[in-house]
């Protein structure tokens, strides 16, 4: 853009800024409308136990179908919602939908499946979180152990005492706590030791590099060994190949999630999908 504008760097920079601000404002207006018009939906991606192939639950992933722009990826709009704090009301809508799903799974005879919900740092530091969560679990009569909250390392470096207290409160509900995208942030092992975590999710970038890059494989095996020492379960995300799954099995990784096992499935198709692909609750690899 700088050259097209006659090489005036400052002017180009301003134009760029202007465009970015315009895009952002446009997106923000669209998001407000999207919230009102319910353009959001949830997809659910299965998680399974590596050793047995047993279905253990799902991760809820938000989807936005924009009337003109089509599907907008969460990595594009979640940061905007975080910045203008609309992620908080949207977040409670997501939690409520997950509780409804948890109930319908149980009615359908799928007991013991856990639903993992991504929580932004802004949501986790909302002072109302604990009370709202308590009330929603009661309202839907869902046991806390069927819900897991995925926090990121960004959440954990905020006011640590306050966060620890909140985690302990939430643990009293039986809700599981996990650290998402583990290995990409700054979580100190010392903090991790103090936190009432149940599991960590190894970031998918380590998985994608694993088979070519020896270091990534070694990082994965070290994380698994270290987390087991801390009595935490390990989930691998982004599992795309049978070689990766086999590697994880050999090194005692507890859970796996990824396109190899299943893509995120729209909520309306979920029951049919799992009945077909997880007969008796166990994953059946597709015959090639």
Structure tokens, 63: 């989807």
- Is residue 71 near ligand C2E by the rule CB under 6 A? no
CA dist 226 and 203 (Å) reads 16
116 SS3 class: strand
- Is residue 70 near ligand C2E by the rule CB under 6 A? no
**Segment near ligand C2E (CB under 6 A); pick from 56-64, 125-133, 136-144, 242-250:** 56-64
CB atoms within 10 A of CB 153: 21
Shortest separation between residue 5's beta carbon and ligand C2E, angstroms: 34
- Is residue 180 near Mg ion by the rule CB under 5 A? yes
Q: Which is nearer to ligand C2E, 60 or 142 (CB)?
A: 60
CA dist 34 and 40 (Å) reads 7
Shortest separation between residue 231's beta carbon and Mg ion, angstroms: 21
- Is residue 264 near ligand C2E by the rule CB under 6 A? yes
Shortest separation between residue 80's beta carbon and Mg ion, angstroms: 16
62 binds, options ligand C2E, Mg ion, none, Cβ within 5 to 8 A by partner type = ligand C2E
Kindly state the number of chain residues that form the binding site for Mg ion, as judged by CB under 5 A: 5
CA dist 80 and 93 (Å) reads 17
- Is residue 181 near Mg ion by the rule CB under 5 A? yes
- Is residue 75 near ligand C2E by the rule CB under 6 A? yes
CA dist 11 and 268 (Å) reads 49
Nearest of 85, 86, 99 to residue 148 by alpha carbon: 99
User: In the chain, which ranges are continuous DSSP H helix?
Assistant: 9-37, 74-83, 87-107, 121-124, 129-140, 153-156, 160-171, 189-194, 204-209, 214-229, 242-250, 270-277
CB atoms within 10 A of CB 128: 10
- Is residue 231 near ligand C2E by the rule CB under 6 A? no
Q: Which is nearer to ligand C2E, 75 or 161 (CB)?
A: 75
Q: Which is nearer to Mg ion, 118 or 233 (CB)?
A: 118
Are 247 and 221 in contact, with CB atoms under 8 Å apart? no
Shortest separation between residue 101's beta carbon and Mg ion, angstroms: 16
Q: Which of 120, 199, 233, 267 is close enough to bind ligand C2E by CB under 6 A? A: 120
Q: Which is nearer to ligand C2E, 18 or 259 (CB)?
A: 259
Kindly state the number of chain residues that form the binding site for ligand C2E, as judged by CB under 6 A: 23
Max Cα distance, the chain (Å): 67
Are 66 and 30 in contact, with CB atoms under 8 Å apart? yes
- In whole angstroms, how large is the CA radius of gyration of the chain? 21
Q: Which is nearer to ligand C2E, 12 or 240 (CB)?
A: 240
- Is residue 46 near ligand C2E by the rule CB under 6 A? no
Q: Specify the pairing of strand 55-66 against strand 70-72.
A: antiparallel
- Is residue 237 near ligand C2E by the rule CB under 6 A? yes
- Is residue 257 near Mg ion by the rule CB under 5 A? no
Give the binding site for ligand C2E (CB under 6 A).
Answer: 45, 60-62, 73-75, 78, 87, 94, 118-120, 180-181, 204, 237-240, 258-259, 264
Give the binding site for Mg ion (CB under 5 A).
Answer: 118, 150, 180-181, 237
């Amino acid at each position: 853009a700088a050259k097209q504008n006659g090489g005036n760097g400052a002017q180009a920079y301003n134009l760029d800024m202007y465009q970015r601000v315009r895009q952002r404002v446009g997106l923000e207006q669209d998001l407000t409308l999207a919230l009102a018009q319910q353009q959001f939906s949830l997809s659910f991606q299965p998680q399974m136990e590596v050793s047995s192939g047993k279905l253990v639950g799902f991760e809820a992933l938000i989807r936005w179908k924009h009337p003109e722009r089509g599907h907008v990826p969460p990595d594009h709009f979640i940061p905007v919602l975080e910045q203008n704090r609309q992620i908080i009301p949207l977040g409670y809508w997501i939690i409520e939908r997950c509780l409804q799903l948890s109930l319908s799974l149980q009615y359908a005879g799928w007991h013991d499946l856990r639903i993992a919900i991504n929580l932004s740092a802004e949501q986790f530091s909302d002072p109302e979180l604990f009370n709202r969560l308590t009330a929603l679990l009661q309202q839907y009569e869902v046991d806390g152990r069927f819900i897991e909250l995925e926090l990121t390392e960004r959440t954990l470096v905020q006011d640590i005492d306050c966060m620890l207290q909140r985690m302990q409160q939430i643990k009293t509900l039986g809700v599981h706590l996990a650290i998402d995208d583990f290995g990409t942030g700054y979580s100190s092992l010392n903090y991790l030791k103090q936190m009432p975590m149940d599991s960590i999710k190894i970031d998918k970038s380590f998985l994608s590099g694993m088979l070519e890059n020896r270091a990534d494989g070694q990082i994965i095996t070290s994380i698994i060994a270290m987390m087991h020492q801390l009595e935490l379960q390990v989930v691998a995300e982004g599992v795309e190949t049978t070689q990766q799954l086999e590697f994880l099995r050999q090194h005692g990784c507890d859970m796996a999630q990824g396109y190899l096992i299943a893509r995120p499935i729209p909520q309306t198709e979920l029951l049919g999908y799992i009945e077909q692909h997880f007969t008796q609750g166990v994953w059946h690899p597709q015959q090639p």
